[in-house]
Structure 1
Amino acid sequence: MRILVVDMTHGGTILASEFSKRKDCKVFAWDIYQTLSEEDKSLLEAQGIELVGESFYESYFHENIVLENDMSRSSLKNDKSNLMVVAPVHCNLPQPPHMTHHQAVGFLLKDQINVPVIEITGVKGKTSTTAMLKEIYRDENPLILSSLGVKVVEDGQEITLQKDISITPASIITAWQLSQKFYKNKVHNVGICIFESSLGGTGLADVGVITNIAEDYSIARGSSSASKAKLQMFKSKVTVCDNESYQKTYSHHYSLNHKPNTFSIDGIGDNVNVKAHIINYGLHKTVFQVKVIDLITINGTSINTSFEVSTFAPAQHHLENTLSAITASLSMGTPIESISNGLKNFTGLPGRTSLSKVGDMVIIEEINPGINVTAVKKAVNMIKGYEKPVLIVGGSYGVTCEEIDETSLSNFLADQSDEVFMILTGDLGLSLWKQMEKQYNYCNSIELALNKSKKVGAKNILLIYRSNFSELGRR
C-alpha cells in the first residue's frame, strides 16, 4: 500500500514513521507548510520515507480507495496501484483524505492499547477536564496527555515523561510509547488513558468528551469548522457532550449513531442526563448537588441517582468543566465515591485556573493560550461579585492558531468599567488599550499591573492572560 501523509507540522512525522514500520507500506511525506528542518528530513529519509510535494498529490488525489466506515477495523491491503491520503481534519485539500490524522492514530494503536481510554476535545475546558479526571483516576495508574505534557501517576506520585508537547492526535502515539518505555520491566503498567486532543477523537475511546463548542471557529481555510471536526468524537463507544452544544450543533446530524450523555447547569434544556443544581459558589470551594437521569454507561447500564460534590469551581465555566469530568466518569461506570473524592482533591490547575495570595490580595489566574471573548465574559461576571475587584487583561499573540476577536472584547470591557477597576497589559492589552482610545489603565508587565492593583486597594484580582504557561512561568 502506498501512503501519503500530509502535514509534517502537526504530527505527520510521527504518523509517517509509524506507517513505515508496517509491512508492505511505502510511505510518502508532504511537508505542506514547509516547516521541516534538514535534520528532520534526513531522519524521515533514513526510514525509507520519500519526501514529496504538491505535484505528487495532484497526480494521485483523484484515486479512490474503499475503506470500511469503521476505521478501527480497516486493513491496509498490498495494492501498489492505489495511494491512501492521510491528512489532518483542518487541512484544506481539493479532495477529502481517505483517513484523517485522528483516524490514523486509531488505526495504528487499536491493537496496542488494551486499557480503558477517555478522550477529551472541545473549544474550551479540555485541559481542566483532563486534570480533574487525573484526580478521579489517580489510584488507577493513569497515563495523561494534555497541553501541559505527558504524565503518569504511579502509586499516587505524578511523573512527567515529556513537557512541551502539542495535543495533535499523533501525540497520543508519543504518550503511549513513552508510558511503555517507563513501565518496561515494572510490575505495574498503565491502568487507564486520559488523552486531551484537538479537533476530535481517534475512535479509541471508551468515553469521548466534547466539553463545549464555545465560539465555534472555522478551519481548513473556511471550508469546515471546529464543530464539524469534533464529530469524530462520536466514534467513541460512549460520547459525552454539553447539552447546549448537542442541541444546537449535533442533535439533528445524520451521521450520529447514538445520543451522547449530556450535562448542564440547572438542567437547562430537555433530556439532560447530568444536572448541577443548588449551587453555592466560593473562591476556594464550590458545593453543589448532582442529579443523574438515564445516563448510559459503557456497559449499557442506566444510572439514576443524586449526590453532592465539593470542588474548586469558582465560576460557572469552571463548574461546566467539572460536570464534563463527572459525566465522563459516570459513563465509565466509576463509583460515585471515587468521583467525589477525586474532585475534592482538585484545587485548580497551575498555568490555567488557580488561586494565589499576595499579602491581602487574592489573585485568580485564568491563563490560557486559547482564551476567547466568551471565556472572558464568564470570568469577569465571576469577579464582579467579590469585594474590591480588579480586572487585569492581556497576553500575547500567536500562541494558538485561533486569534481573539479584539473588537468584541474591547466593546465588552468598556461596558464593565463602571463595575470593576481595569488594567490592560501585554501585547494584547496594548492593542486593546489603543482601540479603547487609551481611556483605561495600561501597564507593560504583569508585575506593574499587580503593583497598581495593590495601590488602589484591591482585595480580589482576576488576571486573564492569553499565553502559554511556559511563557508566564518566566515572569
Structure 2
Amino acid sequence: MLIVDINHGALDLALEYEKSGKVPVIWDIYGKLERDKNFKEENKNILSKFKIISKKETPEFSNYNEVIAPVHCPIDVKFKTFHDAVSEIISKKYPKTVEKMITVTGVKGKTTTTELLKHILSEKYSVFCHNSSDGSITPVTVLNILNKLSEEKKLQIYDFLIFEISLGIVSSNYSILTNILENYSIAGGKRQASIKIYSLKNSKIAFVNEDLKNRFEIYHKNLKIVKNAKIISKYPLKFNYLKNDFEFNESVFGSHFIENSVFAIELCSYFMSFGEIKNSLKSFEIKNRMNVETKNNYAIVKNINPGLDLKAIDYAIFDFLNLFETGTIIVGGDLGCTCEEINIKKLADLIKKYDRDGVKFLLSGSVGKSLKEIINLEFVDINNYAVEENTLVIYRSNLC
C-alpha cells in the first residue's frame, strides 16, 4: 500500500492502516519533511515506523496493490482518494456517529452553510461543528477529530456533527454540495473541481441545488434537489422559500446568504418546524462574511475569509453597489491563504470593471501591493482606516 502526500494527512492514514495489520509506504510528494524540519522532529517517532519515499524519487506504482492519495494529487495512476479512504475507516470505526454526521462541500458557501446549520440546529439539539474558521478542512481532519472526540468520550453527547470538507465529502448521513460556481482545474490540470460530485456517494442523502443538477450529471440514489428562493428584499434580506417567508437581521448582507440558507432550511426541516427555523434564522450572525457594522452613521460591510476568489469578490462588489450605489471598496489581504492562489491580473481587471464616479477603490495587504504594480490606487492600512462613507472591505485572510 502506498499513501501519498504528508501535507494532507498521509501519516495519520498510515497509522490507521497499521492498526489493521497493513504496512503502508508513504510518498512525501511535496517535500514536507525537507521543507519543515520542525514537523520532521516532532513526528520522528511516527516517521520511524514507515518507509518514506522522498520528493526527489518517483515510486514504482506497479509494486503496490493499492495507492491512496488526495483527489488533487497530480498523478496519473488509478488511486483511492483520501475522501474514500476516510469514509471506509470511519464507517467501520464509528458507524453510529456517521449516522449523525452532516458534511458540506462546494466551491463557495461551505463555511456559511455549516454556520447556518449549527445555528439553527443548536436551538434544539447538541451540535458539534468544524469548519474553515477552526482550521484545516481536509478529509483526514474529520478522522482526526472523531478519534479525539472518541478518546475524550464525547462522541455520544452530540446529536449532530457538522463538517466542512474541501473538494468532496466523507461518510455521513446527510451531505450538501453548495455549488460549483467555477469548475477550476486541480491536480495540475488532470482533474476539475466538479470531481467533488463523485464523493456524494459517501452520504446516504445528498442535497444539491437545481442549477447544479441542470449543469452536471449527478447520480445518487437519494438526491434531494433544492430549489431557488424568491428574493423579497435585498436589505434587510427577506425571501420566500417553500411558501414561507424568511428573513435575516440587519447585520447580514449579501444575496449569497439566501442561496446558502435554503440548504440549511431543507435539511433542518427534517428535525424542526418552519416556525422554529424562521425564528432562528432571524438571529443568525457570522463574523466577517458580508456582515454589516455601523460606524459614524456609515455602513461597513466586511467580507474577510481565506477562500475569496474572483467570482466571490465580483458578487460582493455587485451586491454592495446594487444597494448603496456609491462608496469606498477596500480590496486586499494575504497571498498564500489557500492552495488556489488568486489571479492578480484578473482581479485588477475586475476592479476596473466597477471603476466609476462615486466609487473609490483602495488597496491593502500583500494582495494590495501586488495589485498596485498593475493599477495606480491608494494603499491603506486596513486596521487604521478612518471610515468616511459606506465601505466594503474585501480581505483575503483568516483574521483581520
- Once the 2 structures are TM-superposed, how far is the Cα of residue 225 of structure 1 from its aligned partner? 0.8
Match of 2:68 among 66, 86, 90: 86
Match of 2:238 among 276, 287, 290: 287
Contact 2:30 2:55 in 1 (8 A): no
Relative to structure 1, is the Cα distance of residues 375 and 45 closer, same or farther in structure 2, using a 3 angstrom cutoff? closer
Q: Deviations over 1:263-292 (max 9, x none)?
A: 3xxxxxxxxxx331142122xx4221102x
- Once the 2 structures are TM-superposed, how far is the Cα of residue 195 of structure 1 from its aligned partner? 0.8
Match of 1:211 in 2: 178
- Once the 2 structures are TM-superposed, how far is the Cα of residue 57 of structure 1 from its aligned partner? 6.5
Match of 2:144 in 1: 174
C-alpha separation between the residues in 1 aligned to 2:47 and 2:378?
54
Name stretches of at least 5 consecutive residues in structure 1 with no aligned partner. 64-81, 150-164, 264-273, 292-305
Backbone CA RMSD of aligned residues? 2.4
- Once the 2 structures are TM-superposed, how far is the Cα of residue 354 of structure 1 from its aligned partner? 2.5
Q: Deviations over 1:381-437 (max 9, x none)?
A: 12112275221111111111111222332222113221522212122122223312x
- Once the 2 structures are TM-superposed, how far is the Cα of residue 336 of structure 1 from its aligned partner? 2.5
Contact 1:392 1:463 in 2 (8 A): yes
C-alpha separation between the residues in 2 aligned to 1:351 and 1:14?
32
TM-score (norm 1): 0.76
Match of 2:256 in 1: 317
Match of 1:145 among 130, 144, 147: 130
Q: Does 1:447 align with 2:399?
A: no
For the residue of structure 1 that corresponds to 2:142, the secondary structure is helix
Q: Whose helix proportion is higher, 1 or 2?
A: 2
C-alpha separation between the residues in 1 aligned to 2:178 and 2:58?
35
Contact 1:363 1:461 in 2 (8 A): yes
- Once the 2 structures are TM-superposed, how far is the Cα of residue 318 of structure 1 from its aligned partner? 2.2
Q: Does 1:33 align with 2:30?
A: yes
C-alpha separation between the residues in 1 aligned to 2:378 and 2:213?
40
C-alpha separation between the residues in 2 aligned to 1:424 and 1:91?
34
C-alpha separation between the residues in 1 aligned to 2:147 and 2:42?
20
Name stretches of at least 5 consecutive residues in structure 2 with no aligned partner. 34-38
- Once the 2 structures are TM-superposed, how far is the Cα of residue 338 of structure 1 from its aligned partner? 3.7
Contact 2:294 2:300 in 1 (8 A): yes
Alignment of structure 1 residues 199-348 onto 2, 5 Å: 199-202=167-170, 204-248=171-215, 250-251=216-217, 256-258=219-221, 260-263=223-226, 274-282=227-235, 285-291=236-242, 306-312=243-249, 313-330=252-269, 332=270, 334-347=272-285
Contact 2:329 2:360 in 1 (8 A): yes
C-alpha separation between the residues in 2 aligned to 1:58 and 1:278?
54
C-alpha separation between the residues in 1 aligned to 2:394 and 2:273?
35
- Once the 2 structures are TM-superposed, how far is the Cα of residue 49 of structure 1 from its aligned partner? 2.8
Contact 2:105 2:169 in 1 (8 A): yes
Relative to structure 1, is the Cα distance of residues 32 and 215 closer, same or farther in structure 2, using a 3 angstrom cutoff? same
C-alpha separation between the residues in 2 aligned to 1:239 and 1:463?
34
Larger CA deviation: 423-432 vs 383-392: 383-392
For the residue of structure 1 that corresponds to 2:75, the secondary structure is coil
For the residue of structure 2 that corresponds to 1:62, the secondary structure is helix
- Once the 2 structures are TM-superposed, how far is the Cα of residue 56 of structure 1 from its aligned partner? 8.3
Match of 2:86 in 1: 105
Relative to structure 1, is the Cα distance of residues 20 and 57 closer, same or farther in structure 2, using a 3 angstrom cutoff? farther
Contact 1:208 1:234 in 2 (8 A): no
Contact 1:122 1:230 in 2 (8 A): no
Q: Deviations over 1:214-251 (max 9, x none)?
A: 12211111100111234212432121123323322x23
For the residue of structure 2 that corresponds to 1:403, the secondary structure is coil
Match of 2:102 in 1: 118
Q: How many pairs are equivalent?
A: 387
Match of 2:113 among 129, 134, 139: 129
C-alpha separation between the residues in 2 aligned to 1:229 and 1:57?
27
Q: Deviations over 1:269-324 (max 9, x none)?
A: xxxxx331142122xx4221102xxxxxxxxxxxxxx2221225522222212223
- Once the 2 structures are TM-superposed, how far is the Cα of residue 147 of structure 1 from its aligned partner? 0.9
Alignment of structure 1 residues 53-68 onto 2, 5 Å: 53=54, 58-59=59-60, 61-62=61-62
Percent identity of the aligned residues? 29
C-alpha separation between the residues in 1 aligned to 2:56 and 2:343?
37
Match of 2:10 in 1: 12
C-alpha separation between the residues in 1 aligned to 2:25 and 2:110?
33
- Once the 2 structures are TM-superposed, how far is the Cα of residue 175 of structure 1 from its aligned partner? 1.8
Match of 1:157 in 2: none
For the residue of structure 2 that corresponds to 1:237, the secondary structure is strand
C-alpha separation between the residues in 2 aligned to 1:225 and 1:147?
21
Match of 2:36 in 1: none
C-alpha separation between the residues in 2 aligned to 1:227 and 1:329?
26
C-alpha separation between the residues in 1 aligned to 2:328 and 2:175?
38
- Once the 2 structures are TM-superposed, how far is the Cα of residue 189 of structure 1 from its aligned partner? 1.1
For the residue of structure 2 that corresponds to 1:275, the secondary structure is coil
Q: Deviations over 1:160-205 (max 9, x none)?
A: xxxxx31000000122123234445x9x612111110000112x12
Relative to structure 1, is the Cα distance of residues 262 and 417 closer, same or farther in structure 2, using a 3 angstrom cutoff? same
Match of 1:67 in 2: none
- Once the 2 structures are TM-superposed, how far is the Cα of residue 105 of structure 1 from its aligned partner? 0.8
Alignment of structure 1 residues 354-369 onto 2, 5 Å: 354-369=291-306
TM-score (norm 2): 0.89
- Once the 2 structures are TM-superposed, how far is the Cα of residue 129 of structure 1 from its aligned partner? 0.5
C-alpha separation between the residues in 2 aligned to 1:373 and 1:382?
14
Match of 1:154 in 2: none
C-alpha separation between the residues in 1 aligned to 2:58 and 2:361?
52
Q: Does 1:397 align with 2:318?
A: no
